A and B are shown apart, each in its own frame.
Chain A
Amino acid sequence: MASVAESEFPLASRRRRRFTRQTVGRALAPYALLAPAATAIGVILGYPLYLLVKMSFEKYGLFELIRHKGRWVGTANYASILHDGQFWHVLLRTILFTVVNVTLTMVLGTAIALLLLQVSRWLRIAITTGLVLVWSMPVIVAVDIWRWMVDYEFGVANWTLTKLHIVNFIRHDWFANPWTGFAVITALIVWGAIPFITITVYAALAQVPQELLEAAAIDGAKPWAVFREVTLPLLMPIFVILTSLSIIWDFQVFQQIWVMLDFRPTSDYYTMAIYAFHQSFQISEYGLGASIAVVMVLFMFLATLVYLRQMLRTGEVR
């Protein structure tokens, strides 16, 4: 950051007298900037997170909940989940689910953002408005609508597919087979996630200075090369962020599966978040639920470690 100091004070000689005060001010500035946000997060989440970790080492069932006091059991909770066969099945299923969802979301979301640059202005506004409409639907309502569309008796999906003579889907049960069930859930989640990705990537594309693009075009570069050499590097930080956030969010998917299966998913639909919820609230074993949550966090940390390192490195270059 030394270069900034030089360009910032081209008439440095005149300002040298106030240099000391400004040095101190500059050193404290980041902390002052950070303080409000850090305080908000720290105050609200600090104690609960401490409690969560503490509970993961305690037996904290309904009995203990009423008496506000857990019973220390060391790593018994962790041992019990790691030895539970179901835990590993659910973990594997969640990983596969996350990979598919994140890939589809990022690819389709970026594709639509690029498409936005190519279409006429009126259509661009229409599509962005449409995307915001999709984004603004509450998850509960979105799931209700999708459940309604694939409804066994009255769903429009079955009826349309049959009418178009693609396949006879009258009274087709999308959830009898977990594969088709998850296909519907994936479609719902990707559909709901695209608007955010598209709008953010589009905003980032909008920040790419026109003259850089024009300069490359004049130099004779093809559109794809322009994208690869000019746009992509500028977009990299955003892509990395969006992908890691998508991984974190999709790994924790809960509500869509929960509501889609009428609050009672069968065990072959469990993802980590549902499994954790089941262990905490449904059987009121909050200690077990807490230990699953901690394991989830550690896992997500590992999964995003690559991106994390790249992220921190990107910061250094500047």
Chain B
Amino acid sequence: MSSVTQIAPTPVAPVVPRKIGRRRRVHKLGWNLLGLLVLAVMVFPVYWMVATAFKPGQQILSYTPQWFPTSPTLSNFRDAIDQPFFWNAVKNSLIIVSAVVALSVVLAFLASLALAKFHFYGRKAFIVLILGVQMVPLAALIIPLYILMSRLGQIDKLTGVIAMYLTFVLPFTVWTMRGFLLGIPKELEEAAMVDGATRFGAFVRVLLPLVGPGLVATSIFAFIQAWNEFIIAYVFLHTPEKQTLMVWLASFTTLRGTDWGPLMAGATLSALPVVVFFLLVQRRIAFGLTAGAVRG
């Protein structure tokens, strides 16, 4: 059933393995050097954040910036954690994010299946709606959203925030998942239909591993959007016990300017869960790679 060209053995002239090997190795070295440069440039600001978190205050405000914290200190981290409601903020952020990621991945996968694989009345309208909804500037929506949430009794409630984040994340995740589904070569789909399974069964068993990388990418997106959001959390959550980490981070900036050391320490701590989440799921991207190779 596969339309993939048969790999027929073609007679090739004998090549000198060593020459090709060396050229390939030089190429690889060149790519690796470029890769290292890209890595260094991209990661530098993150490094600067972490380095600043370990520097004592005097070294931070210095006319000669120090590349490396020569006398690293944990005092900024201690100050950050001592800032009231830190652990509450961690808990709230984790609850909100878990709910948003779980719900959005499931809902987006289902919805994108409908958009990519079916013809139905209202399909185009929904696609346009999905795109249109993302065009509305959030700042303009705050007052109308507040009016709605107030009527639903969702002010100062985590569920209200989860619902709002879901609506902001869904359009994008549905949109992207649809793209991934469309990008799967038809042959692979058809190959899976052969064994006479029902359509849905085939979809789930065949497509799910193929769009694994897509699911991972969109779940990371959902995680980060929900984790890093500030203005909704700030306006809709009032009691300090309900604060999220981003709102907590904002308390480091007062009329007296910004307290850099503890802010960077707090920011470093806030970034950890995202990195952990990514490291847990990043293997699926590799799985997607091999899945493509094994087929056929």
Which residues of A come within 8 Å of B, CB atoms?
Answer: 1, 4, 7-8, 10-11, 26-27, 29-31, 33-34, 36-38, 40-41, 43-45, 47-49, 51-52, 55, 65, 112, 115-116, 118-120, 123-142, 144-146, 148-149, 153-156, 159, 191, 194-196, 199-200, 202-204, 206-212, 214-215, 218, 234-235, 237-238, 240-241, 244-245, 248, 252, 254-255, 272-273, 276-277, 280-281, 286, 289-290, 292-293, 296-297, 300-301, 304, 308, 311-312, 314-315, 318
Contact = CB atoms under 8 A, between A and B. Distances in A.
B15 interface: no
A22 B65 CA distance: 70
Interface stretch (B75-83, B84-92, B286-294): B286-294
Given A134-B42, A314-B182, A45 B271 contact: no
Given A120-B28, A144-B258, A293-B137, A138 B108 contact: no
B70 interface: no
A210 to B, nearest CB: 4
A27 B179 contact: no
B126 interface: yes
Interface in B214-255: 214, 216-217, 220-221, 224, 227-228, 230, 246, 249-250
B38 to A, nearest CB: 6
A196 B221 contact: yes
A292 B45 contact: no
A297 B31 contact: no
Interface in B102-153: 103, 106-108, 110-111, 113-120, 123-124, 126-141, 143-145, 147-148
Contact of A141 (B49, B65, B115): B49
Contacts of A44: 145, 148, 163-164, 166-167
B217 A199 contact: yes
Contact of B275 (A27, A129, A142): A129
Interface of B: 4-5, 7, 10, 27-28, 31-32, 34-36, 38-39, 42-43, 45-46, 48-49, 52, 60-65, 103, 106-108, 110-111, 113-120, 123-124, 126-141, 143-145, 147-148, 163-164, 166-167, 170-172, 174-176, 178-180, 182-186, 188, 190, 193-194, 196, 199-200, 202, 210-211, 213-214, 216-217, 220-221, 224, 227-228, 230, 246, 249-250, 258, 260, 263-264, 267, 270-271, 274-275, 278-279, 282, 285, 288-289, 292-293, 295-296
A286 B288 contact: no
Given A47-B144, A115-B35, A127-B42, 6 more contacts: A36-B107, A38-B111, A43-B163, A133-B271, A136-B228, A204-B214
A38 B220 CA distance: 22
A233 B188 CA distance: 16
Instruction: Report the 5 A-B pairs with minimum CB-CB distance, sorted nearest first.
Output: A136-B274, A293-B140, A48-B144, A203-B213, A33-B114
B61 A154 contact: yes
Contact of B39 (A1, A38, A123, A156): A123
A308 B134 CA distance: 13
A141 B250 CA distance: 10
7 contacts: A41-B129, A41-B171, A45-B136, A45-B167, A238-B179, A245-B172, A318-B186
A140 B230 contact: yes
Contacts of B27: 118
Contact of A273 (B114, B137, B211): B137
A181 B140 CA distance: 26
B292 A191 contact: no
Contacts of B140: 52, 276, 280, 289-290, 292-293
